[in-house]
Copies of this chain bind each other. A is one copy, B any other.
């Protein structure tokens, strides 16, 4: 049990594994007595950003709202887990500036080819046929983090292995604070 709030900011392509890893981390943290909230892309688009599209401006607004809420939660002792693509470096850096040491950026990394091969939601096929405009990695940019706290190579490691790395980063933070 820890009262040390943090934001685990997962970023990466659709299908890279953000939500899967976030769910494992969430359940592990709950078991350990942490307060946890997952703000994934779908939850947020429904509750905070209905009406926004996928233009750069709308994506930025969406990500800023996620950061606003993650900040409110993490400064009150909650571990906020965000799992939106958040493709633009500048807006992620804004979130980092807002939250300071509470912000833990986690690059969930897999190539576009691998994500398209997995194609969990069938979105890459549609995007490649041109049926979805502004699809990150296909017809819209993804700017990789330059100095993330953690990189998870989901082509080489299992979701459980990735989640263990995230938990290790959180644990080391708690130890430093103790």
Contact = CB atoms under 8 A, between A and B. Distances in A.
23 contacts: A35-B76, A35-B77, A37-B72, A37-B76, A47-B64, A47-B65, A47-B68, A48-B48, A48-B65, A48-B68, A48-B69, A50-B61, A51-B61, A69-B69, A69-B72, A72-B72, A72-B73, A73-B73, A73-B76, A76-B76, A76-B77, A76-B78, A77-B77
- Size class of the A contact interface (CB-based, 8 Å): 10 to 19
A76 B5 CA distance: 11
Interface string A60-99: 0100110011001100111000000000000000000000
Given A47-B64, A51-B61, 9 more contacts: A35-B76, A47-B65, A47-B68, A69-B69, A69-B72, A72-B73, A76-B76, A76-B77, A76-B78
Contacts of A65: 47-48
Contacts of A48: 48, 65, 68-69
Nearest to A69: B69
A52 to B, nearest CB: 9
Contacts of A47: 64-65, 68
A76 to B, nearest CB: 5
